Chain A
Amino acid sequence: MKNVLIKTTINGKQVELDVRPNMTLLDFLRDEMGLTGTKRGCEVGECGACTVLLNGQAVNSCLILVPQIDGQEILTVEGLAQGEKLHPLQESFLDHDAVHCGFCTPGMLISAKALLDHTPDPSEEETRVAISGNLCRCSGYQQIVDAIRETKHVGES
């Protein structure tokens, strides 16, 4: 199989890589970019542990092949914080103890970001729907839902 040259933006950084075209975005992020915050959960698009933003939309990176991100923008959990300053969603997850084993957390945060980016003040139902593709086996979800709904809007103190 011939490698393909991919130009993409990951967490705001321009990236050029020569990779196998049948590589998933998940493997690309983890194995080529060293961005291991995005987790391998089920690799069949069901658990949401590998959720990233593709041009602002939440996708399962295990279902995306690398050629599909050519020229596109990717955001992973590593790109949420601005340097040392956590994203308000991250702060809210800490405040609400929405982190248990932590394995679903990166995907949850990304799905939550996708939600808040277009619905800044989501209802309980909207929030539950938005993360219904992200499985968590520890928390029973309520603390996560509360954390998302009570995230302070950017700029709010």
Chain B
Amino acid sequence: MHQQIPHESAALHVTGEALYIDDLSSSPSLLVGRVVSSPHAHARIASYDLTKAMKAPGVVAVLCAKDIPGHNQMGPVVKDEPCLASGEVSFVGQAVFLIAAKTDAQCRAAEKLIDVSYEPLHPILTIDEAVASNNLLGPARTMQRGDADTALRSVAHVIKGELRTGAAEHWYLESQASLSVPGEGDEMAVYCGSQHPSETQTLVAEVLGVRKKDVVVEVRRIGGAFGGKETQGNHVACWSALLAHATGCPVKVRLFRDDDMIMTGKRHRFLTRYEAGFDNEGILQAVKIELNSDAGAATDLSFAIMERAMFHCDNAYFVPHMHVVARVWKTNLPSNTAFRGFGGPQGMAAMESIIDRVARFLHKDTSEIRHKNFYGLNSNNTTHYGQTVEENRLPRLFDELMESSEYYSRRVTVQAYNAANEFTKKGLALTPVKFGISFTTTFLNQAGALVSIYNDGTVLVNHGGIEMGQGLHTKMQQIAAAELGISIDRVRVNATNTSKVPNTSATAASSGTDMNGAAVKNAIETLKLRIAECVAGMFNEKNPSLKTSKDDIRFESDVIFDSKHSERKIDFAEAMAQMVLRQVSLSSTGYFRTPGIGWDREKGVGTPFRYFAFGMAVSEVLVDTLTGATTLLRTDILHDAGDSINPAIDIGQIEGGYVQGVGWCTTEEIKWDDAGNLMTHSPDTYKIPTARDIPADFRVKLLENATNPNAIHGSKTVAEPPLMLGLSTWLAIKDAVSAVANHQIEPEFSLPATNEVILLSIDNLRGQMKARASKQVSA
């Protein structure tokens, strides 16, 4: 425990043996499935004829909505997402028909023979258009404390503004894929890349019109997900299951990268408006925030995502009077979905933008204003929704990071550089993250496990979480080995399978290790009790004069022993063989529900989170003011991972999360054309960070002595929070841009800060400087 061991599948990964969906070959009768999707953002399906396509060589089935035996619905929360469009299409890339054939080439040939005509309807493609036509997906929600309106009337200074944050594509390396294998009767086995196999099971059963007992969903591993497979892994599973059901053959559907990018949802675009009041010291007194998100064509998780944005638009700062209003808008784009941070980044970007502007308004260092507004340790430590910020690490992180990053001396160097250089400017920024850990839909905070010990002393762990690269299975393996006091090579973590652990929650909300780890521990505690009782009996049988109680039994170093009489011991494997001979059950389920949380959704008040995760970053950038090109010079991150279960995994996740955040904040720009076609539908037009885009000097550390009392073994999740540290890079770029006008004019800025945004902002600053200069001359 608390040490670096390689990822549980690492040896398979480096040899190419690790299997993903596309690597599975089930039988010679395997068919390839293809999804035929809408070319229109909004249209009525006027007519279609599938007969020619059905007769094409190699084709076994061509399906439309009418062929769905069960419900034509796969919305995860609200049933507003048809599995196959019927009557109308509501975004480009919406599935309309399915084809199964022997080969992919045959599928593509058959697709051309589908005769379908659409009557185009008017699409809504932006938040602004949705607002103009009042195309709300649901009622507005508010969350508030105090009286922001009144407070704003009496504060020393008020700033108002608007911030647009962009969509982003998950760009998991393994595109969406599913293999469905029909069995006897209603049986259907689905091997897919879902972050939420229990929900996939539910939807496959509903679409097929069968019951859940007949559907098994198994996920061995996922080649990256980041939220993009929390609900939208369900679609491809349903499509492959429908084709498998119709043909009686195993069917694999794997989306070609561009199709995946076109068909699946992204991070929600946000349009945020704010008004912030503060005193002469830069202390926030009142903030009003209006959040608007682009949900796309269906509900998906949009309300939960907006809820998290509402919970996180304070980020790390105490605001006595706060008013948040949130509206989720419907557009004719693929339904936007979960993406690491889940609305948190969008909410935080607004608050970080506010704080940055307050500092620039007062001509103070941005880090100073941040520090002044942090939640306090003993006072000013309640969020706008009434949860106390306990175990607040912000002051510690700030002090340690300011020193280790040499912030002050570098600030001086940056200023000197900018004074001496006209065409390149440097920028420096520190940003914090405070992120609430738990599903805000409280009942989802539960997990299950099934642990089996075999009579050779090896252990198979099943749990409800998904391994998608974050190292969850490795941590489960570590926890199981530590609890049983055995070496790690005795423990294997099984593929996640709905027939082993039922009714699970998604591996999401950064809760995978906390919850599944606790469930695994719970299962092992049950087993250890049974084993201890039996082993104590065995010891006492041998020598009845000494009494070993089950409470004295310890499990350490592959041995089970009596802590009071250490000569009484038995090798773990030998003991397990004895357990079977002595009729002791070596299999147990485990369960965990997160304690101490709950909140009133109507009032927007309570304790939605078990604890908060904290981190902080300082980034320095160099901006070429003639091209808008940005270079990341250095980033220092100090992150609170509690007593890390596996520091190497956690550091990797922090680095990866931060770099993903940098992508969202800089180069990852999603564009749709006027007809709703995704223009950035390929890696040649959509740019995620490469190895050349990471900070030239990249220093990542875990906060030491930071035991978390609220999660397993004192650890703290890493998962989502580091993504939001990417905001330090975004604001460092703004700092460099601001230097063009010697920090005298507030730059226009949006997210992502692409070269284009940077150049336009600089151009605007230069224009304003010119206007000021000519005004001074004329005066």
What residues make up the interface of A, taking CB atoms closer than 8 Å to B? Answer: 30, 35-44, 46-47, 49, 76-78, 80-81, 86, 89-90, 93-106, 109, 127-129, 131-145
Contact = CB atoms under 8 A, between A and B. Distances in A.
A138 B257 contact: no
Nearest to B171: A137
B174 interface: yes
Interface stretch (B57-65, B386-394, B538-546, B651-659): B651-659
Interface in B201-234: 221-224, 226
Given A47-B683, A97-B6, A139-B656, A105 B14 contact: yes
A86 B13 CA distance: 12
Given A44-B682, A81-B15, A99-B10, A143 B221 contact: no
Given A94-B10, A102-B223, A139 B652 contact: yes
A104 B652 CA distance: 15
B691 A100 contact: no
A100 B16 contact: no
B454 interface: no
A49 B18 CA distance: 14
B16 A38 contact: yes
Interface string B690-718: 11101000101000000000000000000
B694 A101 contact: no
A89 B364 CA distance: 49
B15 A97 contact: no
A102 B469 CA distance: 7
Interface of A is mostly: loop
Contact of B683 (A30, A40, A135, A142): A135
A34 to B, nearest CB: 8
A41 B6 contact: no
A109 B765 CA distance: 46
11 contacts: A36-B19, A40-B254, A78-B15, A100-B470, A100-B653, A101-B172, A101-B174, A102-B18, A140-B655, A140-B660, A141-B691
Contacts, number: 183
B585 interface: no
Contacts of B10: 93-94, 97, 99, 102
Contacts of B468: 101
Nearest to A45: B684
Interface string B1-44: 00010110111111111111011000000000000000000000
B691 A138 contact: no
Contacts of A44: 257-258, 682-684
Contact of B223 (A38, A81, A103, A133): A103
Contact of B20 (A39, A78, A98): A39
Contact of A140 (B172, B658, B692): B658
Interface residues of B, number: 59
Nearest to B682: A44
B636 to A, nearest CB: 13
B688 A135 contact: yes
A136 B173 contact: yes
Given A94-B11, A95-B6, A141-B689, 6 more contacts: A36-B22, A97-B10, A103-B223, A129-B692, A134-B691, A136-B656
Contacts of B657: 140
A143 B655 contact: yes
B691 A99 contact: no
Contacts of A102: 7, 9-10, 12-13, 18, 221, 223, 469
Given A43-B256, A93-B10, A139 B20 contact: no
Which residue, of A43, A99, A102, A103, has the highest number of chain B Cβ atoms within 10 A? Answer: A102
Nearest to A86: B14
A46 B6 contact: no
A97 B694 contact: no
A97 B7 contact: yes
A42 B15 contact: no
B257 A42 contact: yes
A137 B15 contact: no
Closest 5 CB pairs of A and B: A37-B16, A101-B469, A103-B223, A140-B655, A102-B13
B15 A141 contact: no
Contacts of B173: 39, 41, 47, 49, 101, 103-104, 135-137
B684 A132 contact: no
A109 B14 contact: yes
B718 to A, nearest CB: 12
B15 A37 contact: yes
B15 A86 contact: yes
Given A99-B7, A101-B468, A77 B15 contact: yes
B23 A99 contact: no
A99 B652 CA distance: 9
Contacts of A109: 14
A142 to B, nearest CB: 5
B649 interface: yes
Contacts of B93: none
Contacts of B172: 101, 103, 137
A97 B688 contact: no
Contact of B682 (A46, A127, A133): A46
A128 B651 CA distance: 19
B676 to A, nearest CB: 23
